[in-house]
Homo-oligomer: A and B are copies of this chain.
Amino acid sequence: MRETNREWVFAERPDGEPGMDSFALEERSVPEPNHGEVLVRVRYLSVDPYMRGRMRDTESYAEPWDVGESMSGAVVGEVIDSKSERYETGDIVTGEGAWADYVVLGADSVAPVDPTIADLPAYLGALGMPGRTAYFGLLEVGTPKPGETVAVSGAAGAVGSVVGQIAKLNGCRVVGFAGSDKKVNWLTDDLGFDAAINYKDTDDYRVALEDAAPDGVDVYFDNVGGPISDAVFTKLNLDARVAVCGQIAHYNDESVPTGPRKLPQLIATRAKVEGLLVGDFANRFEEASTQLATWVASGDLSHRETIVEGLDNAPDAFLGLFSGDNIGKQVVRVSE
């Protein structure tokens, strides 16, 4: 065990694209658990696009970080000291904690992890919040029916890759947008997507969609926004559903982005466009976690993580999300 605890704090609000100036690594003493708490040695921590929103000083769905506050998010790790009857030393748990070597978590706020179903990083991805987001967003907001076409942006990301596979399990044609040939190949060769479009290698997304989605798009699961969404909206079918899960193309915008107006397109299609936040389904998380674990165990749901080594590199791992460095879930390995 280390003598001190390294912990990343939020050092400066970024203007536009964040850089290393926004982060500072501090040395602190290892925290001690109080009654009902556990001390966890972090094995893996999660970096997620939504965290960019917490760097703004405007109220949104996730509480803004104060400058000086710890960077935090989902972590998975091992209980090394327990002041709770619910967990003992050696248990693996997941919860919300700091980007740090050690975190103290309330025993009520963590969930046990079963390493026999999947390796630990999967509990930050397909078996964690991104997987549940895909599950509820696709099934409850997208409501796909067998034979329909589902389009997904950010398809090779933590959420998108699960969305596409659940859509396939529901008998849909699935089209993904991703940013490299390697990602595109993973989607079609390993995950069973019917088509995938490398948007960095395509001039005209509408033309690409004509081949990839010849019957139009019934469900669009949007993680990205921008020109990809503009193109998909022109291909929406009658009574299409759009689940707006993320808009990573716009997270670093400092002014309100502009683009083609979409409301006029909604009348003829009677499409429904709906914002999605997984927290709204909190009372059904167990259902999702059980189903996702079942699919992973049976091999119906593949998952993949891009692992950045070392707590030192957590900011790089986060910044890499915006350049699309990750295939599948981006995680940081903090300790073995």
Chain A residues packing against B (C-beta within 8 Å): 60-61, 222, 225, 229, 244-247, 250, 256-277, 280
Contact = CB atoms under 8 A, between A and B. Distances in A.
Contact of A225 (B244, B261, B275): B261
Given A265-B275, A270-B275, 19 more contacts: A61-B267, A61-B268, A244-B263, A244-B266, A245-B267, A247-B264, A250-B261, A258-B260, A259-B261, A262-B262, A262-B263, A267-B275, A268-B275, A268-B277, A269-B275, A270-B274, A270-B277, A271-B275, A273-B273
Residue among A246, A258, A268 with the highest chain B CB neighbour number at 10 A: A268
Given A256-B260, A257-B260, A270 B266 contact: no
Copy number in this complex? 2
Shortest 7 CB-CB contacts between residues of A and residues of B? A266-B275, A270-B275, A273-B273, A267-B275, A247-B264, A272-B274, A61-B268
B262 A246 contact: no
A86 to B, nearest CB: 33
B264 A225 contact: yes
Nearest to A253: B264
A265 B256 CA distance: 10
B272 A277 contact: no
B264 A257 contact: yes
26 contacts: A61-B267, A222-B263, A225-B264, A229-B263, A247-B263, A247-B264, A247-B267, A256-B260, A257-B260, A258-B259, A258-B260, A259-B261, A262-B262, A262-B263, A263-B273, A266-B275, A267-B275, A267-B276, A268-B277, A270-B276, A271-B274, A271-B275, A272-B272, A272-B273, A272-B275, A273-B274
B280 A264 contact: no
A280 B276 CA distance: 26
Contact of A261 (B257, B267, B268): B257
A279 to B, nearest CB: 10
A138 to B, nearest CB: 16
Given A258-B258, A273-B273, A273-B274, A60 B263 contact: no
A104 to B, nearest CB: 30
A38 to B, nearest CB: 32
